[in-house]
Amino acid sequence: MRLAERLSKAKPVLLKAVRCTDADFIFYIVSGREMEKIRRTLQARPDFRGREARKISGEKEVNVLAFPEPAGFPHPEIGKKMLGEVYLNRDFGGGGFKVLGPLFIHGFLHLLGYEHWKNRDTIKMKKLEKKLWRELTSEI
């Protein structure tokens, strides 16, 4: 099964696991070159500041980016709350579901508001990532 198909099947599993079935999100699988273009575009924006900007700027290769949807942004065409977008670098680590699946979960959790700036937040996020990965791999 192709990566895009597996990730498409993963979406409802993840949303159900976090009790967020009234929501949706979009994901894109892009090349390393496209991910670098996204990074440069972000870096050129005057409003892209702070620790997230410094983190992304300092990475050798960006593997996943998550952009939460602005609060209250309407999406009448889907009738669900849109969480945002996740971008995965298909060239990272050779790609494939075993590499990009956990990054998909990581980006998804960022859409839900999880962060990893503090050690306790990192531990909490990693624990949930492992739980979701086990659930995901048992279902798809």
CA neighbor of 69 nearest in space, from 31, 101, 24, 32? 24
Over residues 34-48, the mean pLDDT reads 92
pLDDT in tens, 53-82: 888 888 889 999 999 998 877 777 777 889
pTM: 0.91
3-139 — its CATH code? 3.40.390.30
Ramachandran region, residue 73 (left: φ > 0; alpha: ψ -120 to 50; beta: rest): beta
Domain boundaries, the chain: 3-139
pLDDT in tens, 13-40: 999 999 998 999 999 999 999 999 999 9
CA 6 to CA 8: how far, in whole Å? 5
DSSP-H helix ranges across 46-118? 50-58, 97-111
